[in-house]
Amino acid sequence: MARIAYLVSSAKELALADGTRHPTGYFAEEALKPYERFCAAGHDVVVVTPDGLAPTADPYGLEHFFHYPEEDQDFFASVTRTFHHDPDDIRITLHQTTELGLVAARRIVERLTSRGTAPSEAHALVSRAAKIAWSQDRRLVDVMVDEGLDGGLSRQEIQQAVDELDAAARALSAERRRKLDSIEGFTHPVALSTLSDEELAGFDAVFAPGGHGPMVDLADNADVSRLLRVLHHKQAPIASLCHGPALLLSAPERADGQWLFDGYRMTCFTDEEEDQTVAGRLGMAWYLDTALKNAGAVFDDAPSAWVSHVVVDRNLITGQNPASSEATADAVLKALAA
């Protein structure tokens, strides 16, 4: 059984480019999924914050559209793969997945097949409509009705599928919030600042979930620097997700004067993805993607935004975005098993 330092930001506000303060914290999905995976594998997961204050869930990360059920997300991926032969040509934005009703494709297909449409025909019909909605920035409901691609369904029936998806996502968001609130470590975390180097050496790995919080209190933190130095010395897995790789900016220099992770391949929430978020549209003071590149990272992101992407280089494990939560956790488990 390994002992994992689960390093979570306790920041509650993020300074934007214009100096205004924006609410922040940890991203719910990114914090819960890896935690549950590590616990299920039998590891000792110790929630740590820089100052020992209880972390706060980023309200943006609790928005329902970040919690679409996995079966709906997986089906939507099967639809978008029909848009182009080369997946590199597909660009799905946050706006398209959250505001156009596209992720309701599975539930619309279910309604079509219940009326007797063959599953393959229903999938093809919805995929055709979804491609039009995606390329023309139109709501899927409107496209299916206005373009005669409704397959016999009424506007109300198609809209019901979208509303049903939203309700399921809101319920899942609330359930994840409830679970996080019930975890003792999230209500009474250990203060990283109180741990000695010897105590830090007792950890077998560190994992930092995202949310914008890590950009506030993990990116320039002397205690985070100590933790990275100690764990890197023993070649323990150093893992982070989305904005979590901000902790790597606290890494000390090597003996040659270079950043500890200079030349390492890594990923994080990209500038492209950032510009699609609320904070990004308001104006970020700085970008994590750019900061890691400037520090000396060999940046490795997915062919398109918002898809799962994990990079492993030696003992460093990084995940790109919320969709990478489970895959990043699995990479940590594999490293610990090795």
333 and 211 in a common domain: yes
pLDDT recorded at residue 55? 98
Q: Mean pLDDT throughout 331-335? A: 98
DSSP, collapsed to helix, strand or coil, labels residue 228 as helix
50 and 17 in a common domain: yes
Residue 233's domain comprises: 3-55+189-337
Do 143 and 158 form a contact (C-beta atoms < 8 A)?
no
Task: Tell whether 254 is covered by a domain.
Answer: yes
pLDDT recorded at residue 88? 65
| Cβ neighbours around 253 below 10 Å, total | 11
Backbone angles phi, psi at 130, to 5 degrees: -65, -35
Confidence of residue 87 (pLDDT cuts 50, 70, 90): low
Domain boundary among 146, 173, 200: 173
Task: Tell whether 184 is covered by a domain.
Answer: no
48 and 69 in a common domain: no
Sheet (strand 190-191) strand order: 190-191, 44-49, 3-7, 205-208, 238-241, 316-319, 310-313
Question: Considering its fold, how many domains does the chain have in total?
Answer: 2
213 and 157 in a common domain: no
Q: Give the pLDDT confidence of 173-206 residue by residue, as tens digits.
A: 999 999 999 999 999 999 999 999 999 999 999 9
313 and 235 in a common domain: yes
Task: Tell whether 287 is covered by a domain.
Answer: yes
Task: Tell whether 74 is covered by a domain.
Answer: yes
71 and 47 in a common domain: no
271 and 218 in a common domain: yes
Domain boundary among 173, 207, 229: 173
Q: Read off the pTM.
A: 0.95
212 and 135 in a common domain: no
pLDDT higher than threshold 90 for residue 86: no
pLDDT recorded at residue 90? 78
Task: Report the CATH number that the domain containing residue 321 is assigned in CATH.
Answer: 3.40.50.880
Q: Give the pLDDT confidence of 65-75 residue by residue, as tens digits.
A: 999 999 999 99
> What share of the chain in percent tops pLDDT 70?
99
pLDDT recorded at residue 304? 87
Task: Tell whether 178 is covered by a domain.
Answer: no
Q: Mean pLDDT throughout 289-315? A: 96
At a CB cut-off of 8 Å and minimum separation 6, what does 13 contact?
Answer: 21, 22, 23, 24, 216
Nearest by Cα to 290 from 315, 272, 277, 306: 272
193 and 49 in a common domain: yes
Q: Mean pLDDT throughout 282-310? A: 96
Q: What is the mean pLDDT of the chain?
A: 97
pLDDT recorded at residue 147? 98
At a CB cut-off of 8 Å and minimum separation 6, what does 272 contact?
Answer: 305
Task: Tell whether 295 is covered by a domain.
Answer: yes
Task: Tell whether 60 is covered by a domain.
Answer: no
Cα 35 from Cα 29, distance rounded (Å): 10
Cα 5 from Cα 100, distance rounded (Å): 39
Cα 32 from Cα 99, distance rounded (Å): 25
Q: Give the pLDDT confidence of 148-169 residue by residue, as tens digits.
A: 999 999 999 999 999 999 999 9
142 and 17 in a common domain: no
298 and 271 in a common domain: yes
139 and 75 in a common domain: yes
Secondary structure (DSSP) of 96-159: HHHHS-GGGHHHHHHHHHHTT--HHHHHHHHHHHHHHHHHHT--HHHHHHHTT-STT--HHHHH
Q: Mean pLDDT throughout 209-228? A: 98
Cα 122 from Cα 124, distance rounded (Å): 5
Task: Tell whether 306 is covered by a domain.
Answer: yes
CA-to-CA dists, residue 324 to 1, 269, 310, angstroms? 24, 10, 7
